Amino acid sequence: MSKKVALVTGASSGIGFKTAVDLKNAGFIVYGAARRMDKLKNLEGKDIKIIQLDVTDEDSMAKCVETIIKDEGRLDVLVNNAGYGSFGAIEDVPIEEARRQIEVNVFGLARMCQLVLPHMRKNSFGRIINISSMGGKMYTSFGGWYHATKFAVEALSDCMRLETEQFGVDVVLVEPGGIKTDWGIIAAENLRKTSKGSAYGKSVKETAKKMRKNYNGNLLSDPKIISKVIVKAATAKKPKTRYLVGFGAKPAVFLRRILSDRMFDKLVKATM
């Protein structure tokens, strides 16, 4: 039997990079995709095929999938990892930026699913692994637009799982907690810039400081913890519907379930 083929979006760094490498080591033919090809050069030396992909561009997305099908004849696993977090008070974040975040984190992910599903249905097998977040189960200060995208990814994935199961296609959610990447530093800087001088300035300054401290510290989980779970989801005979992993993920989501809204609000303000 030929090797299974996997596509990892957002593969230039962090979780995406580690996932591409780990899937390759697990025996997959792996395509690592990102918007900028120069950011993917480190994957080439690891015998991973690189491909350009902009999840806000229809032609780019269609060409990416078409190229893989033409070269390999199949696409078995899609890891929808491309995405970003743009923090700021909902009042302060320009609607254009809010739309862009939804375009990348939700519509880009959904369109990639639409493009690969016909090929997976044809083979009566497929595995779509959507990278959500513990932020799709809870909320934090100044993360409204980001959390909105992850709540949407959770809902889309659950609905798609019901729809595609009949065709042998599994849809899996991976919900990382705090992971040691540049994501939090970038989000903190964007938060500071977005709400600088606004009515929320004082609170923003405190939140950004906490974010930078957390992401510069040693408590957060290594990206390899998430990549190993993704490989497990890709190779399991019957994967779980969702994997909640990484620093703080399970305790935070548990507390969200058992605490009242007001109590959880106080917890968020005190710790995040």
CA 137-207-104 angle, 5° bins: 50
1's CB contacts (< 8 A; 6+ apart) are: none
In one letter, which amino acid is 172?
V
Is 146 designated active site? yes
Among 31, 139, 146, 215, which one carries the catalytic annotation? Answer: 146
Q: CA 33, CA 157: separation in Å to the nearest integer?
A: 21
Q: Hey, is 118 helix, strand or coil?
A: helix
How does DSSP assign 194-251, residue by residue? Answer: HHTTSTTHHHHHHHHHHHHHHHHSS-SBPHHHHHHHHHHHHH-SS--SEEEESBTHHH
Task: Please give the C-alpha separations between residue 10 and each of 31, 114, 124, 264, in angstroms, as whole numbers.
Answer: 11, 18, 26, 32
- Report whether 231 contacts 181 (CB < 8 A): no
Catalytic residues, by residue number, are 146
